[in-house]
Structures are given as structure tokens and as C-alpha cells.
Amino acid sequence: MDLAYIPSPSSGVIDLGPIPLRGYAFCIIIGVFVAVWYGGRRWVARGGQVGTVADIAVWAVPFGLIGGRLYHVITDYQLYFGDGKDWVDAFKIWEGGLGIWGAIALGAVGAWIGCRRRGIPLPAYADALAPGIAFAQAIGRWGNWFNQELFGKATDVPWALKIDADPGTGTLAGTYHPTFLYESLWCVGVALLVIWADRRFTLGHGRAFALYVAAYTVGRFWTEYLRVDEAHEVLGLRLNNWTAVVVFLAAVAYIVLSSRVSPGRETVVEPAAVAVTGATGAAADTDGAADAAGPVDTTKGEPRDAAEDTAPDAKTPGGATADSPEASKKG
């Protein structure tokens, strides 16, 4: 008898009147909002304009969703094609199935398009967004909890996840390792690591993003190893394990080479923001110069001498000044 375990939702859909709210989609949407919001704050802190991250996300997010789904369908094609399968199910993204590798790869293409349209370096944008992406993954993993999917091996630990029987997949009712929870917590740790390292070492030129990738793949390797869902294997390891190894090595190599080629951090991340700041500064300088020049003679349009403002206009009724010879004779 299990004394403690994490219960699973009986259904992944919550009906809000006539509108069905799917837990998986809800988690993905919340994760995207968090990534854009936090990425926007980091972008502004680095000298960018408000709204730039959201504008580029309009390109990155759809590309990322398409890429994530394509990776999942291609690597798990047996779930959608073949005898007894309906290929239309490949489009039912709300039922689960997004590969992070494809999401990041194609999402980067969308971000590159958006960055080019704004004249922004992609590495700087990726650095600003890196911890937000990790937080988004932490939230998105709870979508697997709603769908009762991607759990690990059977276990009786107090934090085990209770799974219902599923004749369609052959899953037996019982308690299993909650790999969704492991990866969610790991992603939170990755986000905090990137934030700390970015402040401590002033990362730039894409190195904060590369650190996120490298750190994430380490956690993904061991959570993937625990999973028992059907997957293709190569030399005894799941395909995603090999992907994690390759991506980890590529991320570490990028950090090393980038540090040598482009040390430090970008001084300008968004030229448009600098142009706005420069124009404001120029206007302020112009105002200051006008103040220094003194008041303007409205009759001539030229600055008056300060002495003219301070000297008394002591003309006598006759038109002569008080110290003129004519004035002395009349006095």
C-alpha cells in the first residue's frame, strides 16, 4: 500500500462552460508569457527598447511550436503512421508531443528573422531570453502531468506519481517516477544558474544562452534515462540521450570559442534605442546651450549682453543720460 504519492488529474481538460481548457495547452501558453515578460525585462536592462522582445517573439513562438511538433512527429513517427494509426493525430498538438530540440532550433530561425527586421544581433537577444526559456520549460512540463505522460520507471518513493491504467498504451496502474517534476525543478535551477553566471561573469555574444543549453542537456540526459515511454534507441541509449550529448558538446564548444573570438559583452544591443537616447541627449544639449547664451533680444533675434540687463536705463526726460554733460548743466 502506497502511503504517499502525487495524484494525477482524472482529465486533462477543464470545461469552462462551452469552452474546453486543455491543461497541456494552458501550461505552454503560460510558459510563453513568462519567457517573453522576463526576457523583455532583461532586454531593457541591457539597453534595448520596451516591446522589442515581444515583437520578435511573434516570429519565434510560431516557428518554435512548429519545430517542436515536427521533431516529435519525425522521431516518433510510429505513433501516427502505419497500420491502425490516423495521421491526422499528428496535428493534434493539444494532446501532447513537443520536442524541445526542434522547438529551440526552429524557434531560433524565427527569432533570427525578427532580429534582422529590427537590426538586432541574434546572440544578444538569445542571451536576454535564455533564463526565461528555462522558466517556460519548467511551467510547460506540468502539461505532461495533465496528460499523464512521459513518466519514469515504477517506484514507491513518497513523491511517486500515480498513473491510471491505459489499455491503449499498455500502461498498468501504479506509481512511477515523476520525470515531469524532476525536469521542471531542473529547469528552474538552470534559469537561476544562468541569471547568476550572467551577473557574475557579464556573459555576452550568446554565451548565456549556450550556458542554458549546456546545463539543460545535463538534466535532460538523466530524466530521459528514467523514462519508460516508447522511443527509438541507438546503441542502447534513447535517441534523445544522444541528442543531449551532441547538443551539450556543441554548446560547450561555442562558449569556449566565443570567449576567445568575442570576449566581454555587447555595448550596443539595439541601435534604435541608442538613436532615440542620442536624439534626446542632443535636444537636452541644445536647450542647455540656449540657456547659457542668455536671453534673446526680441527686436533683433540675437542674445543680449548680460550687462545690458543689469545696467540701469537712467535717461532723463530730455533723452540724455544722467552722467552726460547736458544732464549736468540742467542739474
Give residue 275's pLDDT.
63
From residue 118, alpha-carbon distances to 32, 55, 121, 174, 228 in Å are 21, 9, 9, 52, 44
- State which H helix or E strand residue 234 sits in: strand 233-234
- What is the C-alpha separation between 68 and 143, in angstroms, rounded? 15
- What is the C-alpha separation between 330 and 328, in angstroms, rounded? 5
pLDDT tens digit string along 1-18?
A: 455 788 988 777 877 777
Q: Does the global pTM surpass 0.95? A: no
255 falls in which pLDDT band (50, 70, 90)?
Answer: very high
DSSP bridge partners of 171: 166
- What is the C-alpha separation between 193 and 182, in angstroms, rounded? 16
Backbone φ/ψ region at 13: left (φ over 0), alpha (ψ -120 to 50), beta: beta
- What is the C-alpha separation between 31 and 10, in angstroms, rounded? 23
Give residue 306's pLDDT.
42
In terms of pLDDT, which residue wins out, 265 or 88?
265
Mean pLDDT value across residues 153-166: 90
| Position 279 pLDDT exceeds 70 | no
Gyration radius of the chain's alpha carbons: 33
